[in-house]
Amino acid sequence: MQKVLVTGVNGFVGRHVAAELRRRGITVVGLGGQAVEDSQFVDQYVALDLTQPIDPSSFSFDGIDGVIHLAGLAAVGPSFDEPLHYVATNVGIETNLFEAAQAQGARPRFVIVSSGSLYSSSAELPLTETSIVSPNSPYAVSKLSQEFMASYYGNRGFDCMLARPFNHFGPGQGLGFIAPDLAQQLVAIERGTADHISVGNLDAERDYTDVRDIARAYIDLLDKGQAGELYNICNGTPRSGHELLNALLASSDARPEIIQDPARLRPADNPVVYGSHAKLSEHTGWQPTISFETTAADVLSDWRSRDS
C-alpha cells in the first residue's frame, strides 16, 4: 500500500490511524465532514459531506490503494432516540463511497469498520466471528447493515474486509463513552469544580483495547486481510466499569464520591462481553500491545491537558 484513504480521519480513531499509516511511510488522504484548521496529520485533507453522493469533481479515487472506512455515527446511546437517522446515515455513507469508486472505475481494497456490539448476549464466550448475532441497539443494526452492504459490493468486484472492533479507548476520545466521561469528571474534581462522579452501570464487563492497537489492526487488515472475511478486533479480557474507574483513580490523588445516575443507564446492556482475536492474529500477526492500565493513564493525562 502506497496511498490510503481514511474516512472520518479527523475523528478519534481516524487521527490514530493516520498517524500509524504515516509512521509506516504510507501516504494518507483524509476525508472529513468539515474543514479543519489543523490538517498536518494527513498528506491531503478533503472536506466532504459523505451523506451525499460523491461528485468526481469533489474527490477522485485515482491512486488510492486502500480505504479504511471510519466515518459515521459511533455513539450507541443516542441511537436509541434516533434509530432511523443512525441506520440511514451509516449505510448511506458507505454506499456513497462504493458507488463513487465504482463510477470512477477504481478498485481499492476496503476495510469496513463494523462493531463487536452485534453479538447476542446469549452467545458463548469468548465471542468469535461465527458467534450468534443479535443487535441490541439501532447503532448495532446500522453496523450489521453496513456489513451486508459491503458483501453486496464484494459481489460487484471489490476486495472488502469486515472489522468488528470491541470497545476501544485512548487519548483523543470525545465525551459520550465511558472512559472519557469518567476522566473528564475526575479532572473536574482535581480542579475543584466538582465533588462527585456520576456513573451508569459499572457492573457491565467489556473487552477494552487501546485505540492505537486498534489502528494497527485496521492497517494490518488492509495489508494482509483476506477479502470477504470478517475479523474481531479485541483484547480478549473482560473488564468492568469499576475496573476502568479504578485504573483512572490509580493515576490520581482524588477519591471522589461515586453516584449512579439513572440517566446514564442504557435500555439494554449485556452483562459480559469479550471476544477472541485468534483469526485476526492468524491472518495478520496482530497482537494487542498496550496495557489497560497504560491506556487509562494516557486517557486521564489527555483530559488534564484540555481546557475543560
- The per-residue pLDDT for range 185-232, each reduced to its tens digit, is 999 999 999 999 999 999 999 999 999 999 999 999 999 999 999 999
Supply the pLDDT for residue 259: 95
Alpha carbon 62 to its chain centroid, in Å, reads: 26
Q: What is the CATH number of the domain that holds 254?
A: 3.90.25.10
Q: Are both 215 and 107 inside the same structural domain?
A: yes
Cross-strand pairs, 269: none
Q: What's the mean pLDDT in 46-61?
A: 96
Q: Are both 166 and 183 inside the same structural domain?
A: no
Q: Are both 24 and 41 inside the same structural domain?
A: yes
Q: Are both 191 and 260 inside the same structural domain?
A: yes
Specify whether the CB–CB gap between 200 and 178 falls below 8 A. yes
What is the residue range of 70's domain? 3-170+208-237+275-290
Q: In what order do the strands lie in the sheet with 109-113?
A: 44-47, 27-32, 3-7, 66-69, 109-113, 160-165, 230-233
Q: Are both 282 and 199 inside the same structural domain?
A: no
Q: Are both 11 and 74 inside the same structural domain?
A: yes
End-to-end CA distance of the chain: 39
Q: Are both 263 and 215 inside the same structural domain?
A: no
Q: Are both 232 and 246 inside the same structural domain?
A: no
**For residue 285, is pLDDT > 80?**
yes
pTM of structure:
0.95
**For residue 69, is pLDDT > 90?**
yes
Q: Are both 74 and 219 inside the same structural domain?
A: yes
Q: Are both 220 and 251 inside the same structural domain?
A: no
| Structural domains in the chain (count) | 2
User: What band does 284 get if pLDDT is binned at 50, 70 and 90?
Assistant: very high
89: nearest Cα among 50, 117, 56, 115: 50
Q: Are both 142 and 248 inside the same structural domain?
A: no
Supply the pLDDT for residue 111: 98
Long-range contacts of 138-141 (CB under 8 A, 24+ apart): 138/79, 138/80, 138/82, 138/83, 138/86, 138/87, 139/73, 139/74, 139/75, 139/76, 139/79, 139/86, 139/115, 140/76, 140/115, 141/83, 141/86, 141/87
Q: What is the CATH number of the domain that holds 232?
A: 3.40.50.720
Q: Average pLDDT of the chain?
A: 95
Q: What's the mean pLDDT in 280-295?
A: 98
Q: Are both 254 and 151 inside the same structural domain?
A: no
Round to whole Å and give the CA distance between 91 and 81. Answer: 18
pLDDT tens string 123-172: 999 999 999 999 989 999 999 999 999 999 999 999 999 999 999 999 99
